[in-house]
Amino acid sequence: MRRFSEQQQAHRDLCSGRRRAGLFLLALCLALGCSGDPALRDPAARENTLLDLARQAADTWVATVKPGQNDWSWGNGVLMFGMGNLLEETAEGRYRNYMIGWIDHHIEQGYYIAFSDSCPPGIAAARLYAETGEPRFREVTRRIWHYLQHVAARTRDGGLNHKGVGTVSQLWVDSLFMFGIVLNEMARLEGNPAYHREIVDQIEIFSRHLLDPDADLYRHMYDERTGAVRPEEALFWARGNAWVFATLVEVLSTLPPDHPSREDLETLLDGMAGSVARYQHDSGLWHTLMNDPGTYLETSASALFAYGFHKAARLGLIAPQYAETATGAMNGILSRLYRDCQGGLIVTGTSHGTSPGNRDYYASVTTGDQVPYGVGAFLLAAVEMGGRPAPALESFPFRRECPDHPESPESYAEYVERAVYRLGRSDLEGAREDFEVLESMEPHRGEGPFGTALVDFAMTAFRVFDAFTRYTIEEITWQDFRETLRSESIPNLDRIRERCIVARDDPGFSLDIPVLLLNLRGMYTPLNDLSFDPSNTRAVLLVLDVLDGLLHLLAALPGSPRAENVRILSTIRT
C-alpha cells in the first residue's frame, strides 16, 4: 500500500504545476489499468522473500516427517527452535500444531533429560507454555532445570558436562547452545534471574577452557582429567563456534542492560564477529574447520552465523556493516537449497554429528540432506532475514532422480524398493510396515524377515540405551533395568534371531541398503552401503548370540553400587 500512496502523491504534485499534463498521464494510467502495485492485485505476482522460503522449507518437513518421528534430542530441538521463530513471525497454526504433536508424543511415550543434548526440546516447550499456559509444557522446562542444578556432572569450577556418564569431566562447546538457549528462553519468559546467572557463568567457564585468546575462537572439547583440549592444533570447528556465536546473540538480546557481565559478553561477541567474518569464504559459506580451506564448506554453521550476524547487527550488538556478512552467508546458503521429488524445498550440505577429533576426522565427517538441525538453522536465518527478496521455489533445481517405486507398491520388488527408500529417510516405521508386507507375501524369502529384524534390532538397542540412561540419572532402579532386559530386550532379540535364520536359509536372499538413517538419540550419522546375503547373515547371527549372552549376564547381576554398574555398562556400550 505504501507504493500506491506514493503514486497518488506524485499525481497531486504534477497536477499543481502542470494540471493538463497530469490529467493526461492519469487518463493514460487508467486506460492501461495502472492501479498500484500488481502484487496487491495478484498475490502470485508478489516478490518472493526469505520468509516464503522458510515457510516452504518448514512445510516440506511437516509434509514428510510425522511429529512423532522427530526424536527428543538436540537436532530436532534446533529444528523446532527455527519452526518456533517461524510461528512467532507468521502466527500460522500448522506450525504450532506440529510442535505440540511432537512434544505430546514424547510426553506420552516418556522422555528423559540426561545430557546437554536432551535440553533443546525445552526451547519449544518454553514458548508453548508461554502461549498456552499448559502445565505439561512447563514440566519440561522444570525437568531441564532440575537436571542442570541437581543431576548433571560438573567440572571442579562448575562447568556443565556434555554427555552424562560418558563424558563426566569434559566440556564440549556444543553444550553452551544446547542448554544455553533454553535457559535464555526461560529467563525471557519467566523473568527468573537464576536462569541468566547460570548461562552467563557457563559462558565464562567454557571461555576459560576453550577460547583461544589469539584467535577469539573456540576449540571443541576440554577434558579436566588430562587438561587437554581437542583439536590439539589451533583448528576451529565452524558449527561449534556458530553454536557459541548464536548463544551470545540470544543471551545479549534478553540480558538486562545493567547486568554486571553484559559488557564482557559484548566484548566477547565483538571479538568473535571479527574473527568469524575474516574466515568467510567467497561463496559466503564457512569451511567446516574455519581456518582450514582444505575442508569442505558447510551449511548449518553458515546458517547459524547468518542468523547471528543479522540479529546482532539489527539489535546494535555489533557494527551495522556485519549485516553484509549475513547477506553473503545467505547467498551461499541459497546455493544449498534444492527441490525434492514432490517439489518441496530441502536443505543440503549439513555435516552429520561431529565429535571432538583431529583435522582428518573433521574433514571426513559426512554431509547430508534434510538433517534436522541443518533445516532448523536455515529456518532461524531465513526468518530473521525474512523481508529480503529471495528466488521463487521453482527456480531451485531438483536434488536427485526420484525413486522408481510407485506411491502404492504392488509387487514384491516394489515393496523392497520402497522399504529401502524409507530406511534412507529415517522412516523406520514405514520401512518396517513394508518389510512385514513382504513377510506376508512370501514368508520363506529373506528380505522381509531380515528387514523387519534390522529395524527391530535398532529399536531394541535404543530401548536398552534408554533404560541404561534412566538408571544413570536415578529415574529407575537397577531392578527396573534388569526387568526391562528380561521382559523386553531378550525376548525381542530371540524374535530377531528367528527372522535372521529365515534369511540365512534362503539361498536367494539379497538386501542392499545404500543408506540407513536412524536420526535417533542424537545419532544423525547415516550408515552407508550395507549389503546382506546368506553368508554374512551367519555373522549377524553370531553377533546376536554374543549380545544375547551379554544381556542375560546383565539381567542376572545383583544390585551392585550404582557407580560400579555404570562403569560396567559404559564399558559394554563403548
Residue 2 pLDDT grade (very low, low, confident, very high; cuts 50, 70, 90): very low
Higher-pLDDT residue of 23, 231? 231
Residue 463 makes CB contacts below 8 A (sequence gap 6+) with 484, 488, 489, 492
Region 58-74: mean pLDDT is: 95
C-alpha dihedral over 299, 303, 304, 309, to 10 degrees?
140
Residue 567 pLDDT grade (very low, low, confident, very high; cuts 50, 70, 90): low
Take residue 22 and report the three cell numbers written for it: 497530469
Residues 296 and 240 in one domain: yes
At 38 the pLDDT is 36
Angle value at C-alpha 9, between 3 and 12, nearest 5 degrees:
150
Region 291-311: mean pLDDT is: 98
Residue 563 pLDDT grade (very low, low, confident, very high; cuts 50, 70, 90): low
Q: Which residues pair with 222 in a beta bridge?
A: 171, 229
133: left (phi over 0), alpha (psi -120 to 50) or beta: left
**pLDDT tens digit sequence for 244-295:** 999 999 999 999 999 999 999 999 999 999 999 999 999 999 999 999 999 9
At 568 the pLDDT is 55
**pLDDT tens digit sequence for 124-154:** 999 999 999 999 999 999 999 999 999 999 9
Rounded Cα distance between 258 and 266, Å, is: 13
Residues 308 and 238 in one domain: yes
Region 16-38: mean pLDDT is: 36
CA of 367: how far to CAs of 217, 370, 458, 482, 548, in Å?
A: 23, 10, 22, 38, 34
Residue 565 pLDDT grade (very low, low, confident, very high; cuts 50, 70, 90): low
Rounded Cα distance between 494 and 492, Å, is: 5
Residue 78 makes CB contacts below 8 A (sequence gap 6+) with 120, 372, 373, 376, 377
Percent of the chain clearing pLDDT 70 (strictly above): 88
At 279 the pLDDT is 98
Angle value at C-alpha 324, between 323 and 327, nearest 5 degrees:
95
393 has a pLDDT exceeding 50: yes
Residues 330 and 314 in one domain: yes
15 has a pLDDT exceeding 70: no
Residues 146 and 204 in one domain: yes
Residues 130 and 191 in one domain: yes
At 564 the pLDDT is 57
| 39-63 core/surface letters (b: 16 or more CB in 10 A; e: else) | eeeeeeeeeebbbbbbbbbbbbbbe
505 has a pLDDT exceeding 50: yes
Residue 243 pLDDT grade (very low, low, confident, very high; cuts 50, 70, 90): very high
* CATH number for the domain harbouring residue 261: 1.50.10.10
pTM (2 d.p.): 0.87
Residues 324 and 225 in one domain: yes
Residues 386 and 468 in one domain: no
28 has a pLDDT exceeding 60: no
Region 542-550: mean pLDDT is: 91
Residue 401 in domain: no
Region 80-100: mean pLDDT is: 97
Residues 453 and 333 in one domain: no
460 has a pLDDT exceeding 60: yes
| 527-558 core/surface letters (b: 16 or more CB in 10 A; e: else) | eeebebbbeebeebbeebeebbeebeebbeee
**pLDDT tens digit sequence for 471-493:** 988 889 999 999 999 999 999 99
At 292 the pLDDT is 97
Higher-pLDDT residue of 570, 362? 362
At 21 the pLDDT is 37
Number of domains comprising the chain = 3
Residue 400 in domain: no
Residues 375 and 440 in one domain: no
Percent of the chain clearing pLDDT 90 (strictly above): 78
Residue 423 makes CB contacts below 8 A (sequence gap 6+) with 431, 455, 513, 515, 516, 517
Rounded Cα distance between 176 and 251, Å, is: 11
Q: Which of 362, 395, 428 is the last residue of a domain?
A: 395
At 4 the pLDDT is 31
Rounded Cα distance between 157 and 224, Å, is: 10
Residues 488 and 526 in one domain: yes
Higher-pLDDT residue of 164, 100? 100
43 has a pLDDT exceeding 50: no
Please provide the average confidence, as pLDDT, over all residues in the chain. Answer: 89
Are 421 and 403 in contact by the 8 Å Cβ rule? The answer is yes
Residue 541 pLDDT grade (very low, low, confident, very high; cuts 50, 70, 90): very high
Cell 522422555 maps to which residue? 111
Q: For residue 274, how many other CB atoms are within 10 A of its CB?
A: 12
At 36 the pLDDT is 39
Q: Which of 339, 365, 395 is the last residue of a domain?
A: 395
Residue 404 in domain: no
Which residue stretches of 473-489 are H helix? 478-484
Contacts for 331-336 with beta carbons within 8 Å, 24 or more apart? 331/283, 331/284, 332/281, 332/283, 332/284, 332/285, 332/297, 332/302, 333/284, 333/285, 333/299, 333/302, 333/303, 333/306, 333/378, 333/381, 334/390, 334/391, 335/283, 336/285, 336/299
For residue 462, the enclosing domain spans 412-573
* 139 membership: H or E segment, kind and range: helix 135-146
Residues 456 and 528 in one domain: yes
Higher-pLDDT residue of 25, 140? 140
Residues 440 and 498 in one domain: yes
509 has a pLDDT exceeding 50: yes
Q: Which of 360, 395, 430 is the last residue of a domain?
A: 395
Residue 407 in domain: no
Higher-pLDDT residue of 230, 43? 230
